[in-house]
Amino acid sequence: MNAARFVALFLLLSTAVPAVVSGVANAAASDHLSLDLRYRYEFVDEARLTDRAHASTLRTRLSWMSEEIEGWSAILELDDVTPIGNDLYDSTANGETARPVVADPEGTEVNRAMLRYRGIAASEAAIGRARINLDNQRFISGVGWRQNEQTFDSFSLATQRLADTRLFYAYIANVNRVFGPEDGTQLGDWRSDSHIMHAAWSGWRNHELTGYVYLLDLEQAETFSNRTTGLRMTGRRSRGTDLHFGYAVEYARQADYAGNPDDYSAGYRLVELTVARQQIKATAGLEILDGDSTNPAERFVTPLATPHAFQGWADKFAVTPSAGVEDSYFGISSSLRHADLALVYHRFEAQAGGSRYGDEWDFSLSRKFAKRYDVLVKFARYDADNFSTDTRKAWLMLSAGF
């Protein structure tokens, strides 16, 4: 499908389909019905492969939220991911293994289906298929960047009954992964017997301390089953109205758990500083995931994270290398005339042994139009030294929400 035909299709969907949704919503005015369309073209050029990836996909999401009655409400959300044009990429389910992976397989499924109860003192209980995002999504997340979101068949309980304190617990029975709904070269689901415990205290002005224990028992991925315990501190200070400082520090320890056949222990550290003046912000940080080059099992893993948001948009470190990884990064971002720009540099090294992995530059430009439309352009360039191969990625994404 050429560009002109696609633009015509996208405009048709973003104008005609919402009229149908509006008609249904008017018939049930007390409820909330919404439609989200997200088209993305993703290009990938990896030096190890002769063929390149050209992934053109459209995600259509229809969401319904009932009126709240005596604290009770329901949510139902349906997602459909459809290729636009030829499958010139490895979706992990279409058999195009000679091309680079773009993990956006075709499929239709229930993304969320949950019953929720909101009680006194800001307490909330939920059961069903839910989205769970904690802190900066480094450990537990919905992986919202991919067209098929990661959700959890779970029971959760959240409360703020203690002063300045939020408590959250979830039991996860199944992980609905981005590679689903059907199995391909990656499993679409992981059966789970996992417990998520998280607490956040904000009693110190403009600072927040969080602690967590994640007990992940993943039956189809036992080598990723782990017990992770950690602390995270974030805060900000201002001088006048134009100059703002921020920080994030985090430390965690991880060990084998449940059916994991490996006996291991590994650590995680993060230090990040930000300085913002008016519309420009600078960020510098160091993130370390431990490893052991002599023992591939001795590494810190994050199987339920949103990997695209960390350690470079080229996704070279979505799975931690056996020698671990140290990511030193620096970025500049700005918001000017309704447009958001970002430029980030990463230097990657092995945590064990100090070998130079490679460098990466990332760039993005996004802009919102007429409150309902968004356009995003991104680019990532990874230059390999001693890990993986040179990779170039580029994205064009158009979104419309109603």
pLDDT of the residue at 18 = 52
Question: Distance between the two ends of the chain, CA-based, in angstroms?
Answer: 25
CB atoms under 10 Å from CB of 222, counted, come to 15
Assess contact for 248 and 230: CB atoms under 8 A: no
Cα dist. 162→68, 123, 154, 167 in Å?
Answer: 25, 11, 24, 9
Strands in 145-225 per DSSP E:
151-159, 165-176, 189-201, 207-216
Q: Determine phi and psi for 56, rounding to 5 degrees.
A: -120, 110
Helices (H), 3-95: 3-27
pLDDT of the residue at 120 = 74
pLDDT of the residue at 387 = 96
In single-letter form, the type of residue at position 262 comes to: D
pLDDT of the residue at 242 = 87
Token digits of residue 31: 């409820």
Assess contact for 401 and 34: CB atoms under 8 A: yes
Q: Pick from 133, 136, 143: which is nearest to 270 by CA?
A: 136
pLDDT exceeds cutoff 50 at 2:
no
DSSP 217-273: -BTT-GGG-EEEEEEEEEEEEEETTTEEEEEEEEEEEEEE-TT-----EEEEEEEEE
Assess contact for 75 and 113: CB atoms under 8 A: yes
Considering only 140-144, 159-163, 255-259, which range has the smallest mean pLDDT? 159-163
Across 330-349, average pLDDT? 95
Q: Which domains does the chain have, with CATH numbers?
A: 3-395 (2.40.160.10)
Give the span between the Cα atoms of 373 and 371, in whole angstroms: 6
Across 11-16, average pLDDT? 50
Tell me how far the alpha carbon of residue 304 is from its chain's centroid: 9
Across 231-253, average pLDDT? 95
Q: Which helix (H) or strand (E) holds 73?
A: strand 72-83
Assess contact for 402 and 372: CB atoms under 8 A: yes
Mind listing the pLDDT tens digit for each residue in 89-144?
999 999 999 999 999 999 999 999 999 999 876 799 999 999 999 999 999 999 99
Considering only 1-15, 159-173, 385-399, which range has the smallest mean pLDDT? 1-15
pLDDT band at 224 (very low <50, low <70, confident <90, very high): very high
Q: Which of 76-80, 241-245, 294-298 has the highest mean pLDDT?
A: 76-80
Give the span between the Cα atoms of 314 and 392, in whole angstroms: 7
